Structure 1
Amino acid sequence: MAEWLQRIQHVPWVAHLVRANTRFTSRLGTAFAGSITYFSVLALVPIAMVAFAVVSFVYHDELQGLVDELLPALGPDLSEQLRTVLVEAQSRAGVAGVIGLVTAAYAGAGWMGQMKSAVRAQWRPSLDEQEERKNFLLESLLNLLVLLALVVLVGATFLLTSVATSFADDVMRWLGLQDVPGIGWLLRLVPLLGTLLFGFVLFLFLYRVLPQQRISTRMVLKGSAGGAVGLLVLQYLSSVLFGLFRDNVAAATFGPVIVLMLFLNLFARLILFVAAWIATSEQRAIAGERIEADLPLEQDPDLDLGPVKVPAPEPERGRSPYSAQQAWARRHGVRIGPQVLTVQYPDEKVQVPQPVAVRATRIASAVGWLLGAATGAGLGASLASSLRRRRRD
């Protein structure tokens, strides 16, 4: 089994996946994805504030009519209280929108900053290399621009996926094509191809804008195509889960939030794993270290993988004479230089040297004799004093 695993790691495409997984794991891909998910959820609150303000301004009359229609069914007291709250909320929608917009911009810039740092951590040859950053304002502005482009692309792919999964039958009925043979498959296939195209552009955009180092365009195109397929699968599964939660009244409240958080985390993992896959097409999985899956790269004469750091073998504790000499030299303050010292090194198995033990025994015996003599003299003097007192009495 071990030999088979070793042989299969020499297959180029398997070795590439192993290197990508090793890079993703060793460079904290899961932790970076969790951080990106956290900032994504954090940005949902200001986004909701902006959405509330926009809906209040655009559909003010419709909302007012809906409130007037529904509130009387709640009773006079409760309906009046809710009306007061809703009217006050609508009057402050502008303030909420401005605050939400500023907060959403700040949170979005932070989210994209985390995404950029995570992709660069997977992309660069060594994790110890310094990440280049511009000043805070310029960096935040660039992050916002990249985020806006990303939101447009993700929204377009989600729209096409929803059309392909949920509204295909409705579209056929609207167009009157439900009786045309094969039209159902065609209406589902065209949006899926559009989703793949938008996903490909999305990943290509990310891997051209975020990293600092350039890698072969051919590998970036391959990685972007693989990322587009992965994104399509994630979106399809998300649409299916949304439909399942929508049909369940008990799960309809928290189901969409759970699906959204799951999608954000898996989407972040997908971006980082594909980045690791692209990077390890020309780099070792771990900078300066060699693993079995690096063999296909080492056989490519056009790649410069850099030197491999060979760790010094660790001697077995308690059995290396040199280690025992070094430990003894540190204890006794002896400096071992290029010259041979005329010092007899002790046996490492002996905890205390014999001369030291003999000297310590003699000193302990002398101290014990003196303490015993002093104690005996004191007891004798005390006894003699007691006898004299009795004779006097």
Structure 2
Amino acid sequence: MKHMTANPNAADRILTTSKRAAGRGTAQQLMRRPAVAHLRDTLTRYGQRLGNQFAAAITYFLVLALVPILMFAFSALGFFLEIVRPDLMTAATEQISAMGGSAAVVDMLQQFLSGWRGVGIVAIISALYTAQGFIGNLKDAVRSQLSDDGVQKDEDGFVPRVVNNTITLLVILVGAGLAVSLSIVSTSLRSVIVAWLELPGWMDPVFQLVPIVVMAATFWLLLFLVFTLLPSAPIPVGTKRKGSLVGAIVLAIIVQFATILIDMFSGSPSAALFGPVIAIMLSLNIVARIILMVAAWMGTAGDDSMFHTVATAPAPADDPRIGPAEDRPTETIGALITASALIGLTLIGFNRYQSRTDSASGRR
């Protein structure tokens, strides 16, 4: 009787063991798939080559570059109002005064417009300094993700490095300006085209995808240029084209998300001061991480399609600062999930605070 009652338990244990073995086999088969293995190698290289640290440095210099960019924008506006259309200077100063700021702020803005020459010179010098830090870190980061020899440093001389960084910055600025301009033009022409062609009203939401597609195309061209100028050795065209396309699609989605995030922050008076700045910094950091992730994808890819080959990077030397290679993808994904959770909690907190403020105002 004992033997007969033990058989079901033994059968259950055998069945459970078989299921576990089958599950492990399925997971191993999934991890051996070329696309999944390539993604795993990408995350591993991104972590080993200090991707997050480089992204933080790039974000810092990008935020630092906002000051000379704003100064140069005021200088260009002052040049336009004084040289090209001097008749609009009075209207511009009146518009600044009508903004409702303090007298000191209004006087400072008016001085920026009238002294556009000095402001422009200071902006150019400041931009050259920040450009060296931005392009230098971006170049080192991209080359480190692409190379099989670990973290790379720019070994060019001072003058060639400054010239190359400046040219690269100008190309990136032109590409970014083209992307923004095409997005604005395509957005403004959307309703005009629908009305001109006398299309039904339901076509207008369909045309909302046009600016996103145009932006993704310009981002693809921009990333293609970046991965042509920055690497020390040429990347295979097929790999560069595919990686730039994936990065461009993700960047276009990030831009739309940043726009929504800024609108959500701007809707709360308590978050209107720092909310847009936080959203911009977060978006810049995510953009830097995406660029480096694409570079890591290219560095672990071969000439063939990612679904047919898996390039394996050489095993790195043991470094206690880096830790086990198999732990880095998990840490990277965990950091992204944590950041997303913090963003969500922040938005929920701001919305609750705004609701309480509105309720208190209504009771008063």
In 2, the alpha carbon distance for the partners of 1:73 and 1:114 equals: 39
In the alignment, which of 125, 129, 135 is matched to residue 112 of structure 1? 135
Matched, 1:280 2:300: yes
Q: Shift in Å at residue 90 of structure 1?
A: 4.3
**1:178·1:184 contact (CA, 8 Å) conserved in 2?**
no
CA shift, 1:62, in A, is: 3.8
Q: 1:70 to 1:220 in 2, by over 3 A?
A: closer
Partner residue in 1 for 2:346: none
CA distance in 2, matches of 1:25, 1:203: 21
Q: Report if aligned partners of 1:161, 1:236 keep a CA contact under 8 Å in 2.
A: no
Q: Distance in 2 between matches of 1:137 and 1:310?
A: 34
State the one-letter code of the partner of 2:227: Y
TM-score by length of 2: 0.68
Q: Which amino acid aligns with 1:153?
A: G
- Residue 15 of structure 1 aligns to which amino acid in structure 2? A
Residue 200 of structure 2 is matched in structure 1 by 180
TM-superposed deviation, 1:179: 5.0
Instruction: Return the offset for 1:254.
Output: 2.5
**2:258 and 2:230 mapped to 1: Cα distance?**
26
The aligned residue for residue 264 of structure 2 is 244
Work out which of the residue numbers 6, 22, 42 in structure 2 matches 1:20. Answer: 42
User: 1:232 Cα shift?
Assistant: 1.1
Q: Which runs of 5+ in 2 are unaligned?
A: 1-22, 319-364
User: Of residues 180, 190, 196 in structure 2, which corresponds to 1:158?
Assistant: 180
Name the SS for the 2:208 alignment partner: helix
Name the counterpart of 1:56. Answer: 78
State the shift of 1:8 in Å: 1.9
User: What amino acid sits opposite 1:104 in the alignment?
Assistant: A
* Two-structure CA RMSD over aligned residues (Å): 3.7
For the structure 1 residues 88 and 224, does the alpha-carbon distance in structure 2 shift closer, same or farther, using more than 3 Å as the test?
closer
Partner of 1:324: none
Shift of 1:18: 0.3
Q: Percent identity?
A: 30
Q: Distance in 1 between matches of 2:216 and 2:261?
A: 20
Question: CA contact under 8 A between 2:38 and 2:311: conserved in structure 1?
Answer: no
In 2: Cα distance, 1:184 partner to 1:73 partner: 34
Q: CA 1:201–1:71 in 2, change beyond 3 Å: closer, same or farther?
A: closer
Aligned-residue offset at 1:263: 1.4
- Distance (whole Å) between structure 1 residues aligned to residue 214 and residue 98 of structure 2: 47
Task: After TM superposition, give the deviation of residue 36 of structure 1 in Å.
Answer: 0.2
Indicate how the Cα distance of structure 1 residues 97 and 9 shifts in structure 2: closer, same or farther if over 3 A, else same. same
**Cα gap change, 1:14 to 1:153, in 2 (>3 Å):** same
Aligned match of 1:143: 165
Query: What TM-score, normalized to structure 1?
Result: 0.63
Using CA pairs under 8 Å that are at least 6 residues apart, name the structure with larger relative contact order, 1 or 2.
Answer: 2
Q: Label 1:168 to 1:2 Cα distance change in 2 as closer, same or farther (>3 A).
A: farther
Could you say which residue in structure 2 is the equivalent of 1:213? Answer: 233
8 Å CA contact retained: 1:204, 1:221: yes
CA distances 1:119-140 after superposition (whole Å, capped 9, x unpaired) = 0000001116x64532212211
Number of residue pairs aligned between Structure 1 and Structure 2: 290
Task: Encode CA deviations 1:36-89: one digit per residue, 9 max, x unaligned.
Answer: 000111111111211222223323554544545775998xxx987777655555
1:204: Cα distance to partner?
A: 1.3
Q: CA deviation at 1:170?
A: 7.1
- 1:193 positional shift: 2.5
1:104-154 residue CA offsets vs partner (Å, 9 max, x unmatched)? 1221132111100000000001116x6453221221121111112112222
Match of 1:345 in 2: none
Larger radius of gyration: 1
Structure having the larger proportion of residues in helix: 2
**Structure 1 letter corresponding to 2:119:** A
- On the 8 A contact 1:116/1:210 being kept in 2, the answer is yes
Q: Does 1:11 align with 2:33?
A: yes
Assess if the C-alpha contact under 8 Å between 1:119 and 1:275 holds in 2. yes
